[in-house]
Structure formats: C-alpha cells, structure tokens
C-alpha cells in the first residue's frame, strides 16, 4: 500500500493531488452511519430500492465526460475504453433495478404440515475493497446487488483512485437525495489496511468483498475468517486462450491481440496464456509479433487505433519489466517489446514464447500487455497445459469445429469458460473463479445471493 491516496498521472508519473487517510474517529462515525442507515434501508421496498439504482444509472450516464477524464488521469484508461466501462456500469445498475426483486423472491419448500420458504434477508454493513483497473465497473458490480438486497456499504477503493471514488460517492449521494433513500447507505472511506482489519472485527460488519491480488485476498480472507465474516474474493488469473484451428491466422491473431491489449492488458480475465496448435503456431506467433511492433505510444486523452497506453503506475510498469526479464532468464524467448519508455508508465507491448512450464514465470500473472504463447500438438496437451496453473478464473477455446471446441472447454477447470468468443459480457452473467482465483460470484442471480441470510421461514398450519 502507498503511504497516501493520490492522483499520480501514469503518463508522466506526476503526482497531481494527494489525499489524507480517514482518521479512526471519522471511520467510526462512518460505520455508525452505515449501521443506522441499514436499520432503515432494510425496510425499504424493492420498488424504492430499484428507484435508487435507476437514478444512479442515469447519473453515471449523464456524467460520462467528467468520469472518463478522471480515470484517464488516475490510471491511464483511454477515453473510449472509459466509455465502454461506463456502458457496463449503467447496464449493471439497471439490471438489478429491473430484476432484483424477482431474484430476491422467497423460494417455497415442499413440506407437509406448514408453510416453509427460504427468504433472502439483508445482513448488514458490507465492506468493499476494490481495485484500480476498472474503477467504476468493479464498484458497480459489488454495490448494485448489495444495495438492492437491502445492505449498506463501506467502500475502500484503491489508493490511486481517490477522485473516481469521490465521484461515485457524489453520484450515490445525489441519487439518495432525489429518491429519498437514507444517507449513509454508501460511504467512501480512504482507509488503511489496518483500518479495514478493524472494520472486519466489528460485529456490525457482516461481510467483505475484495477484488485484487492473491496476496491481498489471503490477508483479507484470514482476517474475515478469524472474525467469522462472509468473504467474496476475486483474485485474478492466468486465463488460457486455446486456438485449436483456424483457416484465417490473421483474423485469429487480431482477436487474440485485441483481447490481450484491452485495458492495456490489465484485466483479470485477459488471455494471459495463449495456447496454439503446432500446425498454425509459427504463423500465429509471427502475426502477433507484427501487431506488437505496429502499436505506438498513445495519449489516453486522445485515443487512436493502434495505440498503446500507460500502465496504472510507474511501479506497475517496472514490476512487469522485471517479470519479463526473469522469464527470459528462465529460458523464455522475448520476440518484441518489454521496455519502459520515458518517465511514466508506458511499457512496449511484448510477445513471449517458450516460457518453461512449471517455472516461477509460468505461474505468474503478467498484468499488462505481454502475450505469452505456447505450442501444443493435441487437444489433450492443450487441456493439460490450460489446467496446469494455480489460478482458475476464465478462459476460451476456439475452433471451426464447435463440437471439438466444446469438448475441450468441458475439461478446462475455471469459474468461466467460453467457446469461440474471448469473453461474453453482460450483467446477467455470473463472474468468479476457482483455485487461487478466489471464491464466490458477482453479477447475475448469484451476485444477489452472496450477502444475504438465506433464512428458513416456517409457519405452522
């Protein structure tokens, strides 16, 4: 963790603004308000909760120019990709506004002798620890179902995202004022890790949702477990992206490269291990190298086709450079890229092959524009390689023979797997992983079930 919350432009490495941590007294007051707000919010009807979520969606939509510029400066996201992120945010809030009541409906239990149902009852204050790579989307997929279920939220955002966190707070506050929702149902807290641990020890806090690194997940899970609190963890991955065959290598490379460069490669579900059949491998690698060479440094505030953008911070770029160097030391071949340029966080897109299977680099998550490509000779070998990792978040399998692709996909061990598409998107589609990628699910019907008491309710005849 940094020694302060700050806006530090990754294009220049300039610290633009700094923010103080929340004091213990301020944090105590925020928790008091959240707990008091819960006693009111839990009694509010689903229709009225839906009104709040719809208003939040409208405000996110209306404030696009301001919101996209905030994250372009905070973490380097180009304006057009910021627009895409806001599309997802708006759809998430509208989805839970429309479907939240039905997803939270009582579930009858067949039983002789009385009326028995499972009720989904809100449980209290939930802490969210959110990452910087999708500053609005990650928060939306946590708070939309959590608020719709009747809980209240304390948000600890990433240290490099203080302005986007404040913008979210302002939107929720404005929506509450317009709809009459109680103040205190959502509070942004610039907390330290120790303060988060203190929150999880408080009996009024009933759960925590974290999206972040495996190390952060282990720490939060240990604290949550010690205090018997529900935890939802999304901890990244090294997703396998299997290309079994293609009659158009250039098109296949376009699709793979577009997925790998999205968000400058800083996505948990990016195609971090690209597994390609040997008969098309050489042509595929050549195509990927050409694309890496063709990309040029761009400005997040003026996005153009064929540009790459800075990573979230100079430190992140230096870490990625060191990872690439280590992979080469372990035997990998670096075909192109892998260099820092200037004083900011620009990192030239890289293509790696021959990373030794089972090495430290093989198990590592390269969180940036690095395409790792592996050669296999059979479907079984592709499946074995895909499953030979510590993570299990998402993945994809491509083939002109859909049945062949489906057979391979059926044997890949992940929380999400796709056939002939890099990744399906939509608020109705649950998101989450297995193994070291964490546990629990966000979005869809499963997202509504994470922070509720599934209470057995029985009325005798």
164 and 190 inside one domain: yes
Catalytic residue among 55, 73, 85, 234, which? 234
d(CA 140, CA 67): 14
pLDDT of residue 129 exceeding 80:
yes
Residues 146 and 249 in one domain: no
Look up the domain containing 120 and give its range: 5-235+435-460
CB–CB of 186/157 below 8 Å?
Answer: no
Q: What pLDDT, on a 0 to 100 scale, did the predictor assign at position 134?
A: 98
If asked whether residues 18 and 119 sit together in one domain, one would say: yes
Number of helical H runs and strand E runs in the chain: 15, 24
Q: pLDDT band at residue 113, thresholds of 50, 70 and 90? A: confident
Query: Is 16's pLDDT higher than 80?
Result: yes
Task: Look at residue 308 and tell me if it is in a domain.
Answer: yes
- Going by their DSSP bridges, the two strands 438-439 and 230-234 should be labelled as antiparallel
Residues 279 and 410 in one domain: yes
Residue 396 has pLDDT above 60, yes or no: yes
Considering the candidates 268, 365, 442, 450, report the single residue annotated as catalytic. 268
Tell me which H or E stretch contains 35.
helix 24-41
Determine the 3-state secondary structure of 121 from DSSP. Answer: strand
Give the integer Cα–Cα distance in Å for 113 and 121: 24
Residue 376, exposed/middle/buried by CB under 10 A (0-12, 13-18, 19+)?
A: buried
Work out the pLDDT band at 2, boundaries 50, 70, 90: low
Domain CATH code at residue 339: 3.40.309.10
- For 104-161, where are the alpha helices, taking DSSP H only? 137-148
Which pLDDT value is given to residue 210?
98
Indicate the average pLDDT of the chain: 97
Q: Residue 3 — very low, low, confident or very high, per pLDDT cuts 50/70/90?
A: low
Contact 126, 208 (CB under 8 A): yes
- Confidence tier at 4 by pLDDT (50, 70, 90): confident
Q: Reply yes or no on whether 381 is catalytic.
A: no
Give the mean pLDDT of 272-290: 98
- The answer as to whether 150 is a domain residue is yes
Are 291 and 370 in the same domain?
yes
Same domain as 329, residue 201: no
Asked whether residue 425 is domain-assigned, the answer is no
* Percent of the chain surpassing pLDDT 70: 99
The structure tokens listed for 350 are: 């890289």
Number of folded domains that form the chain: 2
Q: Identify the band that residue 112 occupies on the pLDDT scale cut at 50, 70 and 90.
A: confident
If asked whether residues 412 and 314 sit together in one domain, one would say: yes
267 with 88: CB under 8 angstroms? no
In a domain, 426, yes or no: no
Single out the residue of 391, 432, 445, 438 nearest to residue 413, CA to CA. Answer: 391
Is the pLDDT assigned to residue 1 strictly greater than 50?
no
CA 231, CA 180: separation in Å to the nearest integer?
30
Q: Distance between CA atoms of 351 and 359, rounded to whole angstroms?
A: 18
Q: What mean pLDDT is predicted for residues 255-270?
A: 98
Domain containing residue 13: CATH number = 3.40.605.10
Instruction: Please tell me whether residues 100 and 151 are part of one structural domain.
Output: yes
Kindly state whether residues 228 and 256 are assigned to the same domain.
no
Helix axes 193-201, 214-226, angle to 10 degrees: 30
In a domain, 43, yes or no: yes
Same domain flag for 308 and 168: no
Q: Name the helix (H) or strand (E) containing 119.
A: strand 114-122
Task: Tell me whether residue 453 is in a domain.
Answer: yes
Based on the fold, state whether residues 231 and 257 are members of the same structural domain.
no
The torsion defined by the Cα of 10, 12, 13 and 14, in degrees rounded to 10, comes to -120
pLDDT at 338 exceeding the cut of 80: yes
pLDDT of residue 216: 95
pLDDT digits (tens, 9 = 90+) for 407-461: 999 999 999 999 999 999 999 999 999 999 999 999 999 999 999 999 999 999 8
Please report whether residue 320 resides in a domain. yes
Q: Is 430 among the domain residues?
A: no
Instruction: Give catalytic status of residue 176 as yes or no.
Output: no
Residue 127 reports pLDDT greater than 50: yes
Secondary structure of 184-207 in the HEC alphabet? CCEEECCCCHHHHHHHHHCCCEEE
**Is 172 in the same domain as 74?**
yes
């Amino acid at each position: 963790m940094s020694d302060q919350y700050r806006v530090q432009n990754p294009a220049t490495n300039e610290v633009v603004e700094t923010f103080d941590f929340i004091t213990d007294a301020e944090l105590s007051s925020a928790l008091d308000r959240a707990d008091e707000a819960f006693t009111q919010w839990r009694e509010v009807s689903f229709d009225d909760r839906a009104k709040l979520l719809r208003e939040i969606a409208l405000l996110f939509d209306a404030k696009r120019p301001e919101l996209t510029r905030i994250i372009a400066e905070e973490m380097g996201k180009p304006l057009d990709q910021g627009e895409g992120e806001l599309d997802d945010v708006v759809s998430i809030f509208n989805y839970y506004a429309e479907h939240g009541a039905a997803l939270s409906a009582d579930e009858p239990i067949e039983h002789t002798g009385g009326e028995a149902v499972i009720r989904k009852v809100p449980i209290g204050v939930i802490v969210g620890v959110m990452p910087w790579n999708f500053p609005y989307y990650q928060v939306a997929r946590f708070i939309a179902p959590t608020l719709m279920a009747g809980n209240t939220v304390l948000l600890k955002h990433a240290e490099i995202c203080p302005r986007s966190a404040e913008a979210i707070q302002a939107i929720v506050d404005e929506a509450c004022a317009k709809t009459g929702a109680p103040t205190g149902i959502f509070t942004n807290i610039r907390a330290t890790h120790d303060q988060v641990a203190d929150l999880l020890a408080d009996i009024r806090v009933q759960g925590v949702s974290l999206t972040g690194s495996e190390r952060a997940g282990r720490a939060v899970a240990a604290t949550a477990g010690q205090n018997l609190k529900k935890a939802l963890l999304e901890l990244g991955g090294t997703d396998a992206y299997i290309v079994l065959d293609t009659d158009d290598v250039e098109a296949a490379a376009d699709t793979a490269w577009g997925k790998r460069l999205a968000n400058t490669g800083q996505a948990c579900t990016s195609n971090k291990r690209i597994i390609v059949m040997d008969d098309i491998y050489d042509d595929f690698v050549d195509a990927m190298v050409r694309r890496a060479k063709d990309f040029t440094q761009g400005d997040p505030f003026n996005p153009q086709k064929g540009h790459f953008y800075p990573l979230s911070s100079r430190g992140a770029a230096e870490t990625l450079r060191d990872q690439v160097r280590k992979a080469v030391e372990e035997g990998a071949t670096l075909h192109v890229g892998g260099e820092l340029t200037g004083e900011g966080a620009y990192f030239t897109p890289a293509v790696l092959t021959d990373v030794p299977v089972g090495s430290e680099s093989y198990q590592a998550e390269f969180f940036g524009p690095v395409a790792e490509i592996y050669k296999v000779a059979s479907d079984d070998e592709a499946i074995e390689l895909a499953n030979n990792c510590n993570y299990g978040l998402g993945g994809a399998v491509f083939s002109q023979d859909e049945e062949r692709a489906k057979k391979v996909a059926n044997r890949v061990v992940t929380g999400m797997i796709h056939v002939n598409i890099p990744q399906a998107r939509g608020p109705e589609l649950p998101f989450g992983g297995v193994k070291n990628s964490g546990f629990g699910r966000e979005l869809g019907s499963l997202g509504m079930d994470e922070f509720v008491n599934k209470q057995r309710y029985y009325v005798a005849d």
